[in-house]
Structure 1
């Protein structure tokens, strides 16, 4: 992996990337590409695209995250945005959540090889973990890049967030906030100003939808996934 591609992506995202973080990022990419030959972790395989569409995209969140925050990444997949953020923000305590065991095994291997003591990988479904006392309303910030509608993301993610914390949902040009007003009201959230940015090679802007947790999520949420999909808020 060309280190210049990583450094340029960091610069565009406003990230200060010291040498050790640069090498860790390159090592992570190497592990990702090797594992991707055996399992479907990412369809993005070209080096420049990995640098921009995975890392630069993930690093855009950094400016929105307070120092020493406890962060949970829901549906992390191959570790984006959570693992990428941990590499440039060692002050963060990051929990990576995914339902697929093989992805969690890959992430645990990355954590071990890169010695990322502040990162934890957990296998589980958000709608189940969000009801457990060890996870419910325990995080300063939830982040999600999962491809689903904002009302569904809100129901899956807001239960993890403390009052006064935030959810950052990574979306495309359509921020979907209008369609999510009812979900926000029911789940204890209110919108903060939208953050927009552009990535190399993409014609349309990207959005960070920031939802502030203003009160506790009622105990009836999250519902079972079958119900969430059948009757979204």
Structure 2
């Protein structure tokens, strides 16, 4: 049995639990991404997770748990870090135009190499803070790097008029839900069951409300 086989089995088992069907080629690309993370992590400190099996659970499956909620043709992933959840989503949806936004130079260098090696033709990297990024996207993702109010304040200008903001959170963020900036409304909150992860996960879906000024790019 190859060294990769246990990881492959863990990933496939998790995908089954999430009711996701991905082809063999995509599964191998996802594991190639884990290999890249492992190789670059020593020098670049991309993630606190050091074990390949834990990366499958905490990075791949945790990211792919929101795949059923990704709609439209374009997605911006703010504060993407090592490419999470943006790269797993881009691998699962190769036709999706994905913009990976992060201001950290070392992480941006890793992202460029990952996009090149994984042949992500529709992914691009923006080395900048969220508030400096431009464009409009059908989906915007952010993986718990700030409060909902701060996320929307920094990146709300990137959300298309009929787009959906997909915010990944741990515990149910009631205080944050009560303090959304004007121009935005919570469409739904879904509790996510990530296979192998013994921790709370919630997905907050936010859309423009149309009853107030939405967050805009600062002048």
> What TM-score do the two structures reach when normalised by structure 2?
0.89
Aligned length: 214
Q: Give the corresponding residue for 2:46.
A: 41
After TM superposition, which residue ranges in structure 1, 4 or more long, deviate above 6 angstroms?
none
Q: Give the corresponding residue for 1:64.
A: 69
Instruction: Please report the RMSD computed on the Cα atoms of aligned residues, expressed in angstroms.
Output: 2.1
| Deviation of 1:9 (Å) | 2.3
Q: Are 2:165 and 1:161 aligned? A: no
Residues in 2 aligned to 1:10 and 1:157: alpha-carbon distance in whole angstroms: 30
- Structure 1, unmatched stretches of 5+, are 225-233
Q: Give the corresponding residue for 1:212.
A: 207
Distance 1:61 1:41, change over 3 A: same
Given candidates 186, 192, 196, the residue that maps to 2:187 is 192
- Structure 2, unmatched stretches of 5+, are none
Distance 1:179 1:114, change over 3 A: closer
Given candidates 83, 86, 91, the residue that maps to 2:95 is 91
Residues in 2 aligned to 1:12 and 1:56: alpha-carbon distance in whole angstroms: 10
Q: Secondary structure at the match of 1:10?
A: helix
Residues in 1 aligned to 2:152 and 2:138: alpha-carbon distance in whole angstroms: 15
- Higher RCO structure (Cα 8 Å, ≥6 apart): 2
Distance 1:99 1:216, change over 3 A: farther
Q: Are 2:180 and 1:183 aligned? A: yes
Task: For 1:1-233, list aligned pairs within 5 A.
Answer: 1=4, 2-66=7-71, 68-129=72-133, 134-135=134-135, 138-176=136-174, 178-184=175-181, 186=182, 188-215=183-210, 218=213, 221-223=216-218
